[in-house]
Structure 1
Amino acid sequence: MITSTLLATFATTPLQWSPTVGIIMILCNVIAIAFGKSTISYPQSEPALPSSKFFGGFGLPTLLATTSFGHLLGVGVILGLHNLGRL
């Protein structure tokens, strides 16, 4: 009974991938990387990436952290825009 009540409270999101969704996710990742570049104290932490100049001087932990944050931000933006009917 509790499970059916909980399932009834969640909205379904039949959102499919489109180029607009991809662009929003890319922009959110770029924003997260820019935010991380300006706020992370030690972005060059080990292990280093193969070409640090290509990745903005980030180490592997910093790159994983900023892109993970970017994906969380992107999911929130995409679902929010979908619930508002803009996407």
Structure 2
Amino acid sequence: MISSILLAAATTVPATPAWNPTVAIIISISSIVVLLLATRIEKPNVGPKLPGLPVSIPTFIAAMAFGHIIGTGIVLGLTNIGRL
């Protein structure tokens, strides 16, 4: 029962783009934008500090993770509308 549901769902998954420099640039830019926005949170310096950046290590990791999520959404959205 479950395998038939998974097979039915797998046939409806849209094609995803192959990794290329455009995808890398989109994800990198979105990660940098989220990192810049992370400096505006209430307490970005809680925890161990990163040298050269105005945020802490936990804030940096969270910003990079969220930037990748946003970038992936952008890439999939652009692919869905045929622009990538």
Whether TM-score is above 0.5 comes out as yes
Aligned pairs, number? 82
In 2, the alpha carbon distance for the partners of 1:68 and 1:27 equals 13
In 2, the alpha carbon distance for the partners of 1:46 and 1:74 equals 26
Name the SS of the counterpart of 1:6 in structure 2.
helix
Partner of residue 41, structure 1? 42
CA 1:48/1:83 → structure 2, altered by over 3 Å: closer, same or farther?
A: same
Please give the TM-score of this superposition, normalised by the length of structure 1.
0.81
Partner of residue 72, structure 2? 75
Runs of 4+ in 1 over 6 A off after TM superposition: none
Identity %: 38
Cα shift readout 1:33-79 (whole Å, capped 9, x = no counterpart): 122112x1111111122x1xx22x11101101111110110111111
Match of 1:62 among 56, 59, 81: 59
Please give the TM-score of this superposition, normalised by the length of structure 2.
0.83
| Cα displacement (A) at 1:12 | 4.0
Partner of residue 13, structure 1? 15
In 2, the alpha carbon distance for the partners of 1:79 and 1:64 equals 23
